[in-house]
Copies of this chain bind each other. A is one copy, B any other.
């Protein structure tokens, strides 16, 4: 933090002389400090996963960073998680309204755009701070097409085949770019498990992986059972051995 930046990080989000919005960049820094979250698209749907490090007595069935938004749609978050809940609430309401008005499930991109639009508003109007969270929005659209979107505090939304956010996401993204190819749901789950392990730089992080999926078959969001996650993690360790990742 240079002293020269002091003027640009208060009250309302304003431009710095070099055309930057520091509050937005600081909010993105909050995302960078969050634990890793990944999303991987397969030919048969999408997989999202996060690393959760519960304390000893924490009840692990309350998932903190993966949220179901609608039947066919979920979110994985990295950054300031209370903000993620606020956005998820918004997404649920938007999704429900869509069902009521058009009698059909909302498109994944529509949700991503809606949330990103709110993010943008929060960078332009006084009286609020930007959101401190990035979201991977994954789901399967009406025609059975899997969709994976990223939204961030700036209000940007982009579609990806595979994406990682949070601490260590740079090296995980590198790994995904090298390793990703369209495949089965299991391929996607294994790749996601491998990605989270890389972020953790440990060999035994699999127990902390929380994973959810929406398969194109039934278009239903479901948490992946712990046993399956463990099996994916084991396969990941075999397929993408440490140091060779």
How many A residues are at the interface, by size bracket? 35 or more
Instruction: Tell me, in angstroms, the Cα distance from A101 to B50 when the chains sit together.
Output: 36
Contact A124 B56 (CB under 8 A): no
A244 within 8 A of B: no
Question: Across the interface, which residues of B come within 8 angstroms of A21, CB to CB?
Answer: 30, 80, 129, 132
Question: Across the interface, which residues of B come within 8 angstroms of A113, CB to CB?
Answer: 85
A22 within 8 A of B: yes
Question: Across the interface, which residues of B come within 8 angstroms of A117, CB to CB?
Answer: 82, 85-86, 89
Mask of A173-200 contacts with B, CB within 8 angstroms, 1/0: 1001100100000000000000000000
Contact A9 B1 (CB under 8 A): no
Question: Across the interface, which residues of B come within 8 angstroms of A121, CB to CB?
Answer: 86
In addition to A57-B163, A82-B154, 10 A-B residue pairs with Cβ atoms within 8 Å of each other are: A1-B17, A7-B9, A10-B10, A13-B129, A15-B23, A15-B30, A20-B30, A58-B159, A124-B129, A126-B127
